[in-house]
Amino acid sequence: MRYTVTLAETGETYPCGETENLLEGMLRLGKKGIPVGCRGGGCGVCKIEVVSGNITTKVMSRDHVSEEDQAAGRVLACRAFPASDITLRVIGLMKKNVCRTKTQALAA
Ligand code: FES
């Protein structure tokens, strides 16, 4: 099953399979400079907030995702999988690279 993930900040969308984590799908957008970290839930750079839709998650470090965070839909993209079409906001360190526009990227 494949779902559509929408980035709330830019309106961009990407497809993401239910067995593929949200970070892997996001990387296919081809944005330059996304600081991909550990890809295993340990570094926190890929933190996102799910605005709408359902996800499933694997174990995440409490250093980066508190119980409060998790209850509010703030999770690590590399440990989260879509269970429906979803909309998310990037809140981790990779935000400026994922959310900048082409114009900003050229100016950088
Ligand atoms: S890439 Fe390190 S926590 Fe997601």
55 lines ligand 1 (CB under 6 A): no
pLDDT at 28: 87
- Adjacent-strand bridge partners of 2: 17
pLDDT at 106 over 80: no
Length of the chain: 108
41 lines ligand 1 (CB under 6 A): yes
Name the pTM for this structure: 0.86
38 lines ligand 1 (CB under 6 A): yes
pLDDT in tens, 50-74: 999 999 999 888 999 999 999 999 9
Q: Maximum Cα–Cα distance for the chain, whole Å? A: 39
Contacts of residue 20, Cβ cutoff 8 Å, sequence gap at least 6: 81
| Ligand 1, atom nearest to 64 Cα | 3
Q: Where are the domains of the chain?
A: 2-107
CATH of 2-107 among 3.10.20.30, 3.40.710.10, 3.30.465.10, 3.40.47.10: 3.10.20.30
In the chain, the N- to C-terminal Cα span, in Å, equals 37
Find which of 12-21, 40-49, 85-94 is predicted with most confidence, using mean pLDDT. Answer: 12-21
| Ligand 1, atom nearest to 38 Cα | 2
Give the whole-angstrom CA distance, residue 99 versus residue 17. 22
3-state secondary structure of 92: coil
